[in-house]
Structure 1
Amino acid sequence: MNRFTRYDDDLRTFVESFLGFDTTDGGERDAQEWVLDRLASFGFDTYEWTADAERLATHPEFPDDPDEIPVADRPSVAGVAEFGDPEAGPTVVLNGHVDVVPADETLWDTDPFDPVWGEREDGSVTITARGAADMKVGTATCIFAGRALADAADDLDLNGRVVVESVAGEEEGGIGAASAAMDSPYPFERDAAIVAEPTSLTPVTATEGSLMKRLHVDGRSAHAARRWNGESVLPHFERIRRAFEELETERAERVRHPLYEQFSNPWPVNVGTVHAGSWASSVPASLDAEVRIGVAPGETVESVEAEFDAALGDVVADSEWLSAHPPTFERFSVQFSPAETDPDAAVVTTLRDAMDAAGLSETDPIGETYGADSRHFVHAGIPAVVFGPGDIDEAHFPNESIVWEEVLTAGEVITDTTCRLLS
């Protein structure tokens, strides 16, 4: 039995309790207080921090208005274990987040916050709850990997530190992680990070960025019985949508990255919301749409924004109505910068060695079309790799589940990787 799997029963108990906390909509405090207590009981030195909205407002990814950054009563917590001479070895961060996206109970077969164990046809054991894949189980895996090493410290010749983090607000741009990257809560430097998001046990070294923009188009209202007296916003919006779709297709051919060749549409554009008109018997005179635009590693949010602003400008120039009534296209919410870690970085090569030792065959790094807190480490000069149990296709879905055997394998690999780095 390896160092990690001996904690199987304790990890199951921990996960059952952890998944039982409803940590949606800024409600992380109760869960974080519980995690902090568990970290102390495991023998970690504990840390806690809450992000400063005014400080985050100076971050290029967050809104300029501090009132738009919800930080109150949302602590992030961590545990630190030191080995041998802590200054003679690296400090390795094992990171996960505590917050989860909302769950529509009408779409679930079970209570999203009452975890249920199950078994699939192939005999694999699963646990189902909101946050099972994304990513409370991954966070718990990091905690127990750190615990496994700390408990075995007397039998190991290690130098350095392990930091296990449970951060708040990842789903809202990485509030806890960004805060820690800007102003470290620790009295020591951090040298590498593993972020245990669900990657199906595959190392992810590049994450995509995203640009969030809100489009507003004005038309002219009229009675439906005389609709020709009005100016519907819908045809104008459709021309804009098609222009964005054409640019998306062109960018997929022009903007290439070796870690994204598996995606036919690597930098997707998604119109997530559309609200138009006010009454069925009136010509729709206004439209608001929210758009998410993918940003490739190596690009900047600003350069991609300029491309889509120009595409909108071409549509406007071709329309007499839009030229006289120009639409607005403004940023909103949080922008995600792309990030990439050198595949030859020690944390990546060591992870791949540990994966190979565990019998995992798919050890080549890949890129992903989502963003993660790993980017905050990378932008702070800390090499980071994303690796964890669970399938991203389960994230944000009803009946979100994770295969337990995969959790144990991830824990074994993360424990071994950290041990190798501290050796």
Structure 2
Amino acid sequence: MEVRREQFRELAETLVSYSSYPGEERAVQTWLRDRLSDLGFETYTWEPDAELIESHPSFPDAETLELEGRPSVAGVLELGDPENGPTVVLNGHADVVPVTESDWSGDPFEPRWENGRLYGRGAVDMKSGLAACVFAALAVEEARHDVDGRIVVESVVGEEEGGIGAATAAASNPYPFDRDAVLIAEPSELDLVVAAEGSLMKRLQIYGESAHAARTWEGESVLPHFERIRQAFIDLERERAERVTHPLFEQFENPWPVNFGTVDAGAWASSVPASLTAEIRIGVAPHETIAEVEAEYQQRLDEVVAESGWLSAHPPDFERFSVQFEGSEVNRKESIVQSLAQVLRDNGIEPAYEGFTGGTDARHYLEADIPTIVCGPGSPDVAHKPDEFIEWEEAIEGAEIIADTVETYLRTQ
């Protein structure tokens, strides 16, 4: 199914031109809502539900999030008799991760074309995918085939912060109708992402005793204690990689990694470091709960503490912070998955079912019992990197495949 190529290109360019960092999405969302209206969509807008976010287990530090003035927007197209058919949501996010401009070859928010690629922050993650959803929906409408139902194109905020807009949409439906399936066009090289890893974020704080650097024996450095804890966690990571298995994650050398993302210790070069704070991200398999994994790491920490007289007397703190989420997995027998797989086969592409080692907004919709698949154009390998880009022919192919998937899905329900 063909899409409006020139308008697709223009929409993607304009989306990329907005520096829509987390908390700064309002301008691009306002522009997109108006553009959707111009294109014939009925539009909806919703803000993050502060009470919902604050009580949601994914956001233990909700008070640190900026929630006001961050609209998510959607456009709805009705086909045939919409009450006689299903509703499929095409989802993308408007926020992008921050940039260090000196690492880029040019202005990250000045879209540029080079050798068939669109460059710019968000070009692949995921403004081209969002634009593909818009024109896929329009292509289905313009085909004027005999199908009933609704297509919703959804642009949410705060995906990079754990899915603020999607969590609200999934848990408190912003539409006056039910949703039957969701396709999220995150970059996957058009592979079918049917499972995703969860994430446990923990902050470790260790306490020692300061002393003059010329008399280190009078103090208690936190560094040896940290190294023992770090090594114990690395050992557990290795054990879990062998013990906790999932067929879609066997390709990864380290499927449930532990990453010590930040470590801050000491206050002065001439003083024994008496405090250390480390922020740690721990991978969670799709079939595990955060609580189960947290308990494993807590037990391993307790073992290290029990072997140390100092740590037993001055126990470390080990608390959740930032964003938490369970892994997720959709049943391959769901109609939206089967429809997409069939369209790929029809286009000469053997469906590749994949597990993703990061998180996506799919989990929020799956938690709301809405079958959700992740599949979109572009490579996740260049997401979040300097000189982010998407191969434009793949973006077009992705939009056309999404359009065919929506029509196939609507016909088969």
Scaled by the length of structure 1, what TM-score is found?
Answer: 0.96
3-state SS, counterpart of residue 124 of structure 2: coil
Given the alignment of the two structures, is residue 309 of structure 1 paired with residue 308 of structure 2, yes or no?
no
Q: Match for residue 368 of structure 1?
A: 356
User: What are the Cα deviations for residues 220-267 of structure 1, in whole angstroms up to 9, with x where unaligned?
Assistant: 111111112111111110111111111111001111111111111111
* TM alignment of 1:147-166, pairs within 5 A: 147-152=138-143, 155-166=144-155
| TM-superposed deviation, 1:197 | 0.6
- How many angstroms apart in 2 are the aligned matches of 1:126 and 1:211? 35
- How many angstroms apart in 1 are the aligned matches of 2:41 and 2:51? 31
Letter in 1 for 2:47: T
- How many angstroms apart in 2 are the aligned matches of 1:25 and 1:99? 5
- How many angstroms apart in 1 are the aligned matches of 2:62 and 2:370? 26
Q: Match for residue 91 of structure 2?
A: 95
| TM-superposed deviation, 1:9 | 1.0
Given the alignment of the two structures, is residue 222 of structure 1 paired with residue 177 of structure 2, yes or no?
no
- How many angstroms apart in 1 are the aligned matches of 2:85 and 2:296? 45
Q: Match for residue 171 of structure 1?
A: 160
Contact 1:213–1:329 (Cα < 8 Å) also in 2: yes
User: What are the Cα deviations for residues 299-349 of structure 1, in whole angstroms up to 9, with x where unaligned?
Assistant: 001111000011110010011111111000000011021111001111111
Equivalent of residue 116 in structure 1, options 112, 116, 141: 112
| TM-superposed deviation, 1:117 | 0.5
Equivalent of residue 85 in structure 1, options 81, 87, 90: 81
| TM-superposed deviation, 1:171 | 0.5
Any unmatched runs of 5+ in structure 2? Answer: none
Q: Match for residue 248 of structure 1?
A: 237
User: What are the Cα deviations for residues 85-139 of structure 1, in whole angstroms up to 9, with x where unaligned?
Assistant: 11221110000000000000011111111111111xxxxx101111011111111
Q: Match for residue 26 of structure 1?
A: 23
Q: Match for residue 122 of structure 1?
A: none
Given the alignment of the two structures, is residue 51 of structure 1 paired with residue 42 of structure 2, yes or no?
no
- How many angstroms apart in 2 are the aligned matches of 1:234 and 1:318? 16
- How many angstroms apart in 2 are the aligned matches of 1:213 and 1:78? 34
3-state SS, counterpart of residue 135 of structure 1: helix
Scaled by the length of structure 2, what TM-score is found?
Answer: 0.98
Contact 1:3–1:149 (Cα < 8 Å) also in 2: no
Equivalent of residue 188 in structure 1, options 162, 169, 177: 177
Letter in 2 for 1:406: E
3-state SS, counterpart of residue 256 of structure 1: coil
- How many angstroms apart in 2 are the aligned matches of 1:185 and 1:150? 22
- How many angstroms apart in 2 are the aligned matches of 1:127 and 1:192? 30
| TM-superposed deviation, 1:66 | 4.8
Equivalent of residue 386 in structure 1, options 348, 354, 374: 374
Contact 2:54–2:63 (Cα < 8 Å) also in 1: no
- How many angstroms apart in 1 are the aligned matches of 2:150 and 2:251? 37
Equivalent of residue 138 in structure 1, options 116, 129, 132: 129
Contact 1:53–1:67 (Cα < 8 Å) also in 2: no
Given the alignment of the two structures, is residue 265 of structure 1 paired with residue 254 of structure 2, yes or no?
yes
Q: Match for residue 75 of structure 1?
A: 71
Contact 1:233–1:284 (Cα < 8 Å) also in 2: yes
- How many angstroms apart in 2 are the aligned matches of 1:365 and 1:346? 15
Letter in 1 for 2:275: S
- How many angstroms apart in 1 are the aligned matches of 2:179 and 2:64? 29
- How many angstroms apart in 2 are the aligned matches of 1:144 and 1:159? 18
| TM-superposed deviation, 1:145 | 0.6
Q: Identify the range of structure 1 (140-149 vs 372-381) with the bigger mean alpha-carbon deviation.
A: 140-149
- How many angstroms apart in 2 are the aligned matches of 1:358 and 1:278? 60
- How many angstroms apart in 2 are the aligned matches of 1:275 and 1:68? 20
User: What are the Cα deviations for residues 256-308 of structure 1, in whole angstroms up to 9, with x where unaligned?
Assistant: 11111111111111010000011111111100000000010110011110000
Q: Match for residue 299 of structure 1?
A: 288
Letter in 1 for 2:176: P
Any unmatched runs of 5+ in structure 1? Answer: 120-124
- How many angstroms apart in 1 are the aligned matches of 2:72 and 2:259? 31
Letter in 2 for 1:3: E
Contact 2:262–2:280 (Cα < 8 Å) also in 1: yes
- How many angstroms apart in 1 are the aligned matches of 2:52 and 2:246? 33
Q: Identify the range of structure 1 (98-107 vs 352-361) with the bigger mean alpha-carbon deviation.
A: 352-361
User: What are the Cα deviations for residues 344-401 of structure 1, in whole angstroms up to 9, with x where unaligned?
Assistant: 111111101111112223x131111110001111000001010001111111111111
Q: Match for residue 409 of structure 2?
A: 421
State the identity %. Answer: 56
Given the alignment of the two structures, is residue 238 of structure 1 paired with residue 237 of structure 2, yes or no?
no
Given the alignment of the two structures, is residue 351 of structure 1 paired with residue 340 of structure 2, yes or no?
yes
Query: What is the root-mean-square deviation in Å for CA atoms of aligned residues?
Result: 1.0
Letter in 2 for 1:215: L
Equivalent of residue 7 in structure 2, options 2, 5, 10: 10
- How many angstroms apart in 1 are the aligned matches of 2:263 and 2:51? 31
- How many angstroms apart in 2 are the aligned matches of 1:227 and 1:53? 49
3-state SS, counterpart of residue 55 of structure 2: coil
